[in-house]
Amino acid sequence: MFDFIKNIGPTEIIVLFAILVLFFGSKIAIGAGRAGGRTLKEIKKIKNEITGEAEDKPNQDNQKGVSK
């Protein structure tokens, strides 16, 4: 559904930010940018936690199954 987000580049982000400033003013646009940045940071943090756990589980299973 949100596959188009992968194709957004820096130029598009700058244009969107300029449109926000024109329509809503600089204070609201800057606040929205900060909130968006914090949201992306949290999403990346959660993604890293989930992928880290998923990568750790097979390693733990392999270590338990190995007999010396």
pLDDT at residue 41 in the model: 93
- The more confidently predicted of residues 26 and 63 is 26
Residue type, 22: L
Comparing CA positions, the residue from 40, 41, 42, 29 lying closest to residue 5 is: 40
The per-residue pLDDT for 21 is 83
How far are the Cα atoms of 5, 6, 31, 39, 47 from residue 1, in angstroms, in the given order?
A: 9, 11, 26, 19, 18
- Per-residue pLDDT tens digits for 36-65: 889 989 999 998 998 887 766 655 555 555
pTM (2 decimals)? 0.47
Backbone φ, ψ for residue 42 (5° rounding): -65, -40
Max Cα–Cα distance, the chain, nearest Å: 68
